[in-house]
Amino acid sequence: MKEFRLPDPGEGLVEAEIVTWNVKVGDEVKINDIVVEVETSKSLVELPIPFAGTVAQLLVSEGDTVDVGSPIIVIDDGSAVPTADPAATDDTTEQANDEVIEPGKIGGEAPGGRIANLVGYGSKTVEAKRRPRRDGGNRQDQPSQEMRQQVGAMFDQAPPSRPTDVQASLPTTASQPSGAPLPTPGPAPAEPGMASGSVLAKPPVRKLAKDLGVDLNRVIGSGDGGIITREDVQKVANGASPALDEGAASAPARRSTALVDRREPIKGVRRMTAQAMVGSAFTAPHVTEWITVDVTATMELLDKLRARREFREIKLSPTLLIAKATLLALRNTPELNAAWDEQAQEVAYFGSVNLGIAAATPRGLVVPNITDADALSLVELAEALNALVGVAKQGRTQPSDMSGGTFTITNVGVFGVDAGTPILNPGESGILCLGAINRRPWVIGTGADERIEPRWVTTLALSFDHRLVDGEGGSRFLADLAGILADPGQALLY
């Protein structure tokens, strides 16, 4: 039997969720057969089995989250030693036990050609002998025969209502009740926060209220659904927040009537995205700038490219030309293709552009990147872009393809949104947000030739890390990018 342990399917991942088993108990598998599909904190990954055999056991179920290194499946590779026939064992037990093994040998040959082991071979024929207990004569921890008889007599008698020696020591008048009868016991006092109002507070908040002497029944909750937070308790303790009056304290607190429809655990891509965005938002000082540009010439160029033979089998979109223009504009602003190294107190400038493309998938947002995108031709860039988006939408981008990015493009225009303020991908200094490309009235021409015409117009938003990118650098990049998109012929200048 061999156990297959969950490997690290990416870089530094510690756990994964079992999504789909491709095998069941009893199936035959070969080396490198895909047996399971797991979801990491970045994507879906198919895992091959490193050995062949029969599936003996699935140790985890679909939907379980498993730590890296934990066994997930057992494979019977045929190497297990067959168990002896029980009937044959009974017939040969006495012969095996009578077999004499010569000194210096590990085993001797038993009837039937079997090798008798020194330890654990056959059934035991001699009863184990227990070492006799030594009473020790004068040991004080052994109860005497007289004490045993007294204890036995105590259990033979019915237990008295009170011990005899205690009854003898009490006055005779104490056995008769006197005075007014005691009142009937009422209900036990409820703990703070456990009154009929069903106070909504988590255990740490309840403990804090108890330590501060705050009655949770008199606290107005400010959390979701009226839940009481630590801040609410501290404000009441400090007298900075009004509490419910005594009459309201005895009545059920008025809470939100909104009901939770469903809950989903935060895991996988969603958890990874949340951690990355929080870390980025509260680490790098973000600055966002916008520019609205007439991209009619770019849209006309896109139509011309679709008619060319090189692109007839390739799906083209405005994102391709905007990505190419972005790669050209980055040549003049290398600080946007860099990273802030806090530990080394250095700015790391990258020699090439690994262009990340944010893609929305059913499992969340992922940002795979095109390695050395600035070295690709337009045809190669188009092919790489289509392959990247196709794999990402299936949720099958490998973790290695989502690391090492240097600049990111996100497109909210596909949802009809005009613009946004994107958050930097961790480790990068810039991210470009593409807005929707719509027909809008636009002023063209100058002087006497000035007129208003419907044009293809879009808004671009650039967020950058203000620690290493100044406003001048971000503005220059947007101006260069807008110039190329307004007049693609300017690309010859880069």
Catalytic residues: 466
* 435 close to 394: Cβ distance less than 8 angstroms: no
Structure tokens at 172: 């005779």
For 171, 418, 439, 494, the CA distances from 478, given in Å and listed in that order, are 101, 16, 21, 15
CA distance 198 to 252: 7
* 253 close to 244: Cβ distance less than 8 angstroms: yes
Q: Tokens 């006497």 map to which residue?
A: 448
Q: Tokens 């005899």 map to which residue?
A: 164
Rounded to 10°, the helix 378-393/318-329 angle is 120
Question: What single-letter amino acid sits at 351?
Answer: G
Rounded to 10°, the helix 230-238/203-212 angle is 10
Q: What is the 3-state secondary structure (H, E, C) of the chain?
A: CEEEECCCCCCCCCEEEEEEECCCCCCEECCCCEEEEEECCCCEEEEECCCCEEEEEECCCCCCEEECCCEEEEEECCCCCCCCCHHHHHHHHHHHHHCCCCCCCCCEECHHHCEECCCCCCCCCCCCCCCCCCCCCCCCCCCCHHHHHHHHHHHHCCCCCCCHHHHHHCCHHHHCCCCCCCCCCCCCCCCCCCCCCCCCECHHHHHHHHHHCCCHHHCCCCCHHHCECHHHHHHHHHCCCCCCCHHHHHCCCCCCCCCCCCCCCCCHHHHHHHHHHHHHHCCCCEEEEEEEEECHHHHHHHHHHHCCHHHCCCCCCHHHHHHHHHHHHHHHCHHHHEEEECCCCEEEECCCCCEEECEEECCEEECCEECCHHHCCHHHHHHHHHHHHHHHHCCCCCHHHHCCCCEEEEECHHHCCCCCCCCCCCCCCEEEEECCCEEEEEEECCHHHCEEEEEEEEEEEEEEECCCCCHHHHHHHHHHHHHHHHCHHHHHHC
